[in-house]
């Protein structure tokens, strides 16, 4: 069994990644681990897989197995409210109405949902492993994780622009120098109190703004460290022996490897069993054999686990238990 605490299960839609993520979570629970499985899919497929209601608050499915379905709409509302309250702390009262107007518009802006979702994921990656032996994300790591990795650099640029017009910005240069990993520097201690950073020579308002920015910045730095650490994080892709999933997985693997993300292996799902009879299924098996050869050739440096197509739909704990014998652990 792999030992990493944080696990991402991703892949093209419709290849069975939620089913395999759920079966893996159940398998870990059966081994005596305390497990949290998290879905970022607004279609709530995790609840369908377990045949139990799951929402935006953590629920217990079985002793030792908790689940959470992040609601992107709720995340946007909560995220914007946090930002609004934070901005009001540093603004004059006569600006409050304009801040609220801008924040209302922000809720509908492109990228607002993703920004809120990524911050929630970062918080879970940072905090949940302290309470669980395994934290499994049923999500699409290609998009979410790549953006998560670029957040420290993006936030550094945003922070520079935000403080450029502040009368005290020159005093903050020493702080800002630590906000970009590309500058060859990093925050001296991402676990320290942001309020104790060396900003003693600035006024209280500037120090408070800096502490707020550094708190978020340190969260993303810690998350980046966890995601790129092969001892802490494992990424698995799910695909089927078909052309389009192979192409998409190839692009995803290349992109994530460039970002030094630890890809643990592939689940090749829904392989026709040899005993399935009939001319139609025989032709499908021949086609699958060709694609399996392509998978073996293209992904030979990654572990590959083949999961058969089962005769009936997978639904609920009993259904997931039928998948578990086909897992490699």
Q: What's the pLDDT tens digit per position in 65-102?
A: 999 999 988 888 988 898 888 888 878 889 899 989 98
Predicted pLDDT of residue 183: 47
Nearest to residue 237, comparing CAs of 249, 224, 228? Answer: 249
Question: Tens-of-pLDDT digits for all 329 residues of the chain?
Answer: 889 999 999 998 899 999 999 999 999 999 999 999 999 877 779 999 999 999 999 999 999 999 999 998 888 898 889 888 888 887 888 989 998 998 888 888 877 887 888 889 999 999 999 999 999 999 876 777 777 777 766 765 666 565 555 545 455 555 555 555 554 444 445 555 555 555 555 677 777 777 877 788 888 889 989 999 999 999 999 999 999 999 999 999 999 999 889 999 999 999 999 888 899 999 999 999 999 999 999 999 999 999 999 999 999 999 999 999 999 99
Answer for the pair 46, 316: CB distance below 8 angstroms, yes or no.
no
Predicted pLDDT of residue 167: 45
Supply 260's token pair.
Answer: 């030094």
Q: Which residues have C-beta within 8 Å of that of residue 103, sequence separation ≥ 6?
A: 80, 83, 84, 87
Residue with tokens 């997931």: 320
Predicted pLDDT of residue 175: 53
Predicted pLDDT of residue 159: 60
Beta-bridge partner residues of 137: 8, 38
Separation between Cα atoms, residue 67 and residue 128, nearest integer Å: 12
In the chain, what percentage of residues exceed pLDDT 70?
Answer: 84
Domain layout of the chain by residue ranges: 6-174+203-326
Predicted pLDDT of residue 201: 59
Q: Are strands 59-62 and 65-69 parallel, antiparallel or unpaired?
A: antiparallel
- Return the exposure string of 123-158: e unless at least 16 CB atoms fall within 10 Å of the residue's CB, then b: ebbbebbeebbbbbbbbbbbebbebbbebbbebbee
Fold category of 6-174+203-326 in CATH: Rossmann fold (3.40.50)
CB 72: neighbour CB atoms within 10 A?
Answer: 18
182 burial (CB, 10 Å; 0-12 / 13-18 / 19+) is exposed
Predicted pLDDT of residue 117: 85
Residue with tokens 């309020």: 195
pTM score: 0.86
Predicted pLDDT of residue 176: 53
């Amino acid at each position: 069994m792999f030992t990493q605490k944080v696990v991402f299960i991703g892949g093209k839609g419709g290849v069975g990644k939620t089913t395999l993520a759920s079966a893996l979570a159940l398998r870990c629970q059966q081994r005596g681990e305390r497990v949290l499985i998290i879905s970022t899919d607004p279609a709530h497929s995790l609840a369908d897989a377990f045949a139990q209601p799951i929402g935006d608050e953590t629920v217990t499915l079985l002793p030792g197995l908790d689940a959470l379905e992040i609601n992107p709409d709720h995340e946007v509302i909560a995220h914007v409210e946090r930002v609004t309250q934070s901005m009001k702390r540093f603004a004059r009262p006569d600006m409050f109405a304009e801040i609220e107007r801008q924040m209302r518009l922000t809720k509908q802006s492109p990228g607002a949902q993703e920004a809120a979702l990524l911050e929630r994921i970062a918080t879970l990656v940072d905090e949940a492993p302290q309470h669980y032996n395994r934290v499994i994300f049923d999500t699409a790591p290609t998009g979410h994780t790549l953006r998560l990795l670029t957040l420290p650099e993006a936030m550094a640029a945003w922070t520079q622009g935000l403080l450029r017009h502040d009368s005290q910005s020159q005093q903050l240069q020493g702080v800002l120098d630590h906000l970009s990993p590309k500058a060859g520097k990093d925050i001296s201690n991402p676990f320290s109190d942001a309020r104790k950073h060396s900003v003693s020579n600035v006024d209280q308002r500037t120090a408070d703004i800096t502490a707020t920015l550094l708190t978020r910045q340190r969260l993303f730095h810690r998350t980046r460290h966890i995601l790129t650490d092969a001892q802490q994080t494992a990424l698995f892709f799910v695909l089927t022996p078909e052309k389009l999933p192979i192409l998409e997985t190839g692009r995803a693997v290349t992109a994530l490897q460039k970002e030094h993300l630890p890809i643990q292996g592939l689940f090749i799902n829904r392989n026709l069993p040899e005993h399935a009879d009939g001319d139609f299924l025989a032709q499908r098996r021949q086609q699958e054999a060709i694609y399996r050869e392509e998978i073996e050739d293209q992904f030979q440096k990654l572990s590959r686990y083949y999961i058969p197509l089962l005769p009936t739909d997978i639904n609920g704990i009993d259904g997931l238990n039928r998948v578990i014998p086909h897992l490699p652990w």
